[in-house]
Amino acid sequence: MSTDGRLAGLLACVALSLGLPVTADAQPAPLAFTACRPTQVFVSTAGLQCATLNVPFDRADPSVGDIALSVQRVPASAPRVGVIVLLAGGPGQPALPAFEGFLAPLAHDPALRSYELVAFDQRGTGQSGGLLCPGGEEAPKGLTPYFGACGAALGATRGFYTSQESVEDLNALREALGGTPLSLFAVSYGTRVAGMYAREHPQGMARMVLDSAVPTTGPDPLSLARLHALRRVLNEGICGAGACRSFSKDVYADLTRLVTLLHRHPLHTHIYNGHGRLRPASVTEVGVLHLLYRIDLSLGMRELAPAAIAAAAHGDAAPLAQLTHSLQAEGTGSSALPGTGAASDDGSPGDGPLAAEAPASASGDSDVLFAATACVEDQLPWSPESAPGGRDDTLRDWLASLPAGATAPFAPATAVADSPLPLCLDWPATPAAPPSPTGVSATPTLILSGDQDLRTPYEQALTIAATYSDATLLRVPDVGHSTVTDDQTGCARGAMIAFLTSGQAPASCPASNEPQALPLPPASLDKIQPLLSHSRLVGRVAAAAAITLEELWGQIELSSGGGLQGGFWRLSGTKLIAHDLVDVRGVAISGSASLRSAVAHFTVHGQLNGTLTQRKQTVTGRLGGTPVHMHLVET
């Protein structure tokens, strides 16, 4: 499609979002909830209802028109005592898929039966006039000019997608729900909107839970808090309790050594690609930083990355190239754009399968909305009202003014490359967003902070907690970003429910019993410690099969990849397919797994033949005629 065609399509999206009649009365009418249509539902949820809330697109000039916000709820099944609203991450992440996949199903919890559970897609996301840049899959090839063109296509309307507008949309929702003070469950960027709302509309608040909190003033553009937390997260978090002792004395020191090498030149190696072919690959400084910025969203990546980093620092770049190359290979869609936190989409609660009827476009993050918010609200080196033509010089001068080592161990240019700055360089001049409210909020608040979260690290949570006079900070061990869904013990989820319903929270959460880091697979069977078995060979093959499956599931958030020693795997819809996957010579695995049913069937061939069935973390089957029973590491 031509650039003109793409921009015409974008303008059409904006026109559609503005095509609703103007609301004469500023006071929102009560919402009329009805049964959801199939095209509105991503995850089938008992009791789910849908409604539309029309709010002014431009509150200073209501004649411009309304924008329709898509709202969902599960009504209280007992006399209603409160309303709990989910605010998702981003900016740019729709809340409704997460609501259906996580919060709405909790309506059956005895503690929540008296609460109405509600969510809405933020304006410009999902089913609330979602902004898309047509042909967006090409964006990373020309990030700066492409998004500059998209911003220009939005015209003056690009100034109406700020966090402040979301705050006022949330207040309109509260009024349309009857004016009951809200209890908010906010995740990542959603915590910024929640914090602003608590300060501007304190009468509309009951209490709130901030999961993976960000400051109300917006993030710094280079995410320096992440970089400063790297040593602690790697050495004390992921590698704590001796988890990395078998392959590294100090993973952060290994990272520093590796990055020093990469300052001079990439490391070249060969890896098996997603078609099982041995191909050249490189490890770059930007690729390593991009990987590190993903590990707090993926337990599997946290388990695999430290050993791969240590190996690369000492001359074996292939395991790390396998991880970083797969990220680059998938980096043709929105999740690859720096700063979006997608893949997540940015730690959203819930990741259930999408219904076939739901439009896929309504479930993905909007990178245009991300830019429309971040490029006028983040603490950028330039004013959003400045002309794009002078921003390169401003950025250069700003980087030169940074203290020496501010982005260590990475070079400043590397930190820039994996930040929102390139996306905003050409974003058209736009009026600055209103100043974010500051000061101390009296709203009772629980802050959940994952000990292995780099995106919103614990050190940042301490600072944020000081801005609430009635705050409880709960540090959750062995957990990354979005604690409620990343915590395998269920403690964070229980704390969220308890605080929203009673104002109480546990004093601490237990650590998981799973290893936080895994060593690299041995190259051959004779170097493997066998699992308990009557046969040493069976024990070794079983151990090799378990290692291969753990490596496979650790990379599942990527779309495809190769084994360390051969073969490949790929995702096809909701099915995972492995073909002659080899991480340990002499043991190849083929088969498939249903991501919906969490059941997998594999065949093993090589030194021994056999079949294995995996249900969750338990693997049973027969190898060489001998029964085996194994438990995999949680990934």
Cis peptide leading into 21, omega within 30 of 0? Answer: no
Distance CA 158, CA 283 (A): 38
Assign 548 a pLDDT band (cuts: 50, 70, 90).
very high
Q: Is the pLDDT of residue 29 over 90?
A: no
For residue 39, the Cα-to-chain-centroid distance in whole angstroms is: 25
Written as one letter, the residue type at 625 is G
How many CA atoms lie within 13 Å of 18's alpha carbon, on the beta-carbon side? 16
Reduced to 3 states, what is the DSSP secondary structure of residue 245? coil
Reduced to 3 states, what is the DSSP secondary structure of residue 588? strand
User: What pairs with residue 281 in β-bridges?
Assistant: 269
Phi and psi for 552 in degrees, rounded to 5? -60, -50
Compute the average pLDDT of residues 137-159. 75
DSSP per-residue string spanning 91-118: TT--SHHHIIIIIGGGGGSGGGTTEEEE
Assign 558 a pLDDT band (cuts: 50, 70, 90).
confident
Task: Report pLDDT for 434.
Answer: 86
Tens digits of residue pLDDT in 427-441: 999 999 888 898 999
Cis peptide leading into 181, omega within 30 of 0? Answer: no
Alpha helices (H) in 418-490, listed in sequence order = 421-424, 458-465, 483-486
Task: Report pLDDT for 25.
Answer: 43
Assign 523 a pLDDT band (cuts: 50, 70, 90).
confident
Global pTM reads 0.89
DSSP per-residue string spanning 561-612: EE-SSEEEEEEETTEEEEEEEEEEBTEEEEEEEETTTTEEEEEEEESS-EEE
- Tell me if 286 sits within 8 A of 327, measured CB to CB: no
Q: Show me where the domains of the chain are located.
A: 360-399+412-424, 525-631
Distance CA 187, CA 450 (A): 12
DSSP per-residue string spanning 481-507: SSHHHH-TTSHHHHHHHHHHHHS---S
Q: Is the pLDDT of residue 10 over 50?
A: no
Tens digits of residue pLDDT in 257-266: 999 999 999 9
Tens digits of residue pLDDT in 450-479: 999 999 999 999 999 999 999 999 999 999
Assign 87 a pLDDT band (cuts: 50, 70, 90).
very high
Task: Report pLDDT for 264.
Answer: 95
Tens digits of residue pLDDT in 326-372: 666 544 333 323 333 333 333 333 333 333 355 656 778 888 999 99
